[in-house]
Chains A and B, each alone.
Chain A
Amino acid sequence: DGGITQSPKYLFRKEGQNVTLSCEQNLNHDAMYWYRQDPGQGLRLIYYSQIVNDFQKGDIAEGYSVSREKKESFPLTVTSAQKNPTAFYLCATKDRNEETQYFGPGTRLLVL
């Protein structure tokens, strides 16, 4: 966890609603990642960003969107097009000179 914060800890989404998950870091890391965790499936990559103002789709990007306007921030929006959004969402960061990814504490998204 350390210098990576995710908010809120729990988030409830109504049918047809877009919701945004926050990820902020003070580690000065260039790369940031969003993962989705479902029981028994490990972590799956949604989006990633190597540098400000640039991001790429991961393995399960459909129904999600991101922005990277600042180095410190990489918010994830879960759109109404994501039909099964209930999951634990994890943000991670990586320094350009290191191989290890470091994770935030996560946000659990539940559908009302």
Chain B
Amino acid sequence: AQSVAQPEDQVNVAEGNPLTVKCTYSVSGNPYLFWYVQYPNRGLQFLLKYITGDNLVKGSYGFEAEFNKSQTSFHLKKPSALVSDSALYFCATRGGWGKFQFGAGTQVVVTP
């Protein structure tokens, strides 16, 4: 079965510092991996995806993610966090029939 895990419930970072949100995956075959962001009482917004190709994937709002096959990880990163990046972040993987499996989510808190 396809699954992802987000080991941190919350990440705290000061504005201007680098932000990393961790995700590990357990997938048979080639992984399809995604990152989404959710602001309070809103739907999920797509940030980026890894299907194939370069291990460093660039996405929206200055976010990027690094696919690491040996460590089965797909961590989300941003070089300099903004207060407006405070939100709930979800990692996901695609299984059969286009079905997604989501991680439990990581709350990011960026303090001024």
Give A77 Cβ to nearest chain B Cβ, in Å: 20
* B-facing residues in A17-45 (Cβ within 8 Å): 31, 33, 40-43, 45
Q: Decide if A105 touches B42 in the complex (CB within 8 Å).
A: yes
Q: Decide if B43 touches A42 in the complex (CB within 8 Å).
A: no
Categorize the interface residue count of chain B.
20 to 34
Once A and B bind, how many residue pairs between them come within 8 Å at the CB atom?
61
Interface of A is mostly: strand
Instruction: State A33–B97 Cα separation when bound (angstroms).
Output: 11
At the interface with chain A, which of B13-21, B45-53, B75-83?
Answer: B45-53
Instruction: State A93–B79 Cα separation when bound (angstroms).
Output: 31
Q: Decide if A100 touches B97 in the complex (CB within 8 Å).
A: no
Q: Decide if B99 touches A104 in the complex (CB within 8 Å).
A: no
* A-facing residues in B25-57 (Cβ within 8 Å): 32, 34, 36, 41-46, 49, 51
Q: Decide if A42 touches B105 in the complex (CB within 8 Å).
A: yes
Beyond A43-B100, A92-B44, 6 additional contacts (C-beta under 8 Å) are: A6-B43, A31-B98, A40-B9, A41-B104, A50-B98, A103-B45
Q: A residues bordering B, Cβ < 8 Å?
A: 1, 4, 6, 31, 33, 40-43, 45, 48, 50, 56, 58, 88, 90, 92, 94, 99-106, 108
